[in-house]
Homo-oligomer: A and B are copies of this chain.
Amino acid sequence: MDDIEIEAVAEVDLSDPVFIEGLPGVGNVGKLAVEHLIEEFEEATLVRRIYADVFPPQVSIDEGVTELTHAAVHAVETPGEGPDLLLLTGDHQAQSNEGHYHLTDAFLDVAEEFDVEQVFALGGVPTGELVDEPSVLGAVANETQLDELEDIGVEFREGEPAGGIVGVSGLLLGLGGRRGLDATCLMGETSGYLVDPQSAQVVIEVLQDLLDFSVDFETLEERAEEMKEVAAKIQEMQQQQQGIASDDDLRYIG
């Protein structure tokens, strides 16, 4: 195997597609969001698999059949006027510093193969406490994109996220911007302690406004309810154990 291999699974004819990434990260917000889109757009087609020796040396197993660790790109021909979608997700980030760069370059090669001009990196930004109504923070590779995003409620806060954006999401903007693509990062506020379907939903809602599509949120809302119950139970247990409890005492639960 080459260090990185892009496997063409199917060919589709897309109109002006945008590329949307959701790999594992804070609150799994990006991954939940992209997986939800793939589920809701029933006609989503797996078009590319990306294998890389910077992924863990591992196979997953489904009903006894193994699958080599990879990232997957699904194509969606949206019903409305908006652009078609290329949806990237997977179970792993790269396992090395250099690997993040090389993997992101491969993802951008896929995007450019489909004549993508706009890339979205989805993720979560940790707030350290449970959030009732999460906002969506933004960052862009290209200043000209700022106004449209602010108009639909994406927030740009000085110095946030502290430390910039790391991993594939950050590099999609850094390397994508250098390739001349419009690259945007949308980050849902999330505690940082729990998988957060609610934050994934607000991020998708921003995409809906921007890209003129519409999906159902019932399954995400159900999972958000479940996570709220989990959070409540943990807080209760902590109150019993410690006398006092605060949101900050929550440990991350994936």
Which residues of the partner chain B approach A133 to less than 8 Å between Cβ atoms?
A: none
Interface residues on A, range: 35 or more
With beta carbons under 8 angstroms apart, the residue of B3, B97, B178 that contacts A53 is B97
Q: Any chain B CB within 8 A of the CB of A232?
A: no
Count this chain's copies in the assembly: 4
Q: Any chain B CB within 8 A of the CB of A80?
A: no
Least CB distance, A175 to chain B, in whole angstroms: 6
Q: Which of A36-82 contact B (CB under 8 A)?
A: 51, 53-54, 56-61, 63-69
Which residues of the partner chain B approach A194 to less than 8 Å between Cβ atoms?
A: none
Q: Are A171 and B59 in contact (CB under 8 A)?
A: yes
With beta carbons under 8 angstroms apart, the residue of B61, B102, B104, B167 that contacts A161 is B61
Q: Any chain B CB within 8 A of the CB of A250?
A: no
Q: Which residues of A contact B (CB under 8 A)?
A: 1, 3, 51, 53-54, 56-61, 63-69, 94-98, 100-102, 104-105, 138-143, 146, 156, 158-161, 163-168, 170-171, 173-175, 177-178, 185
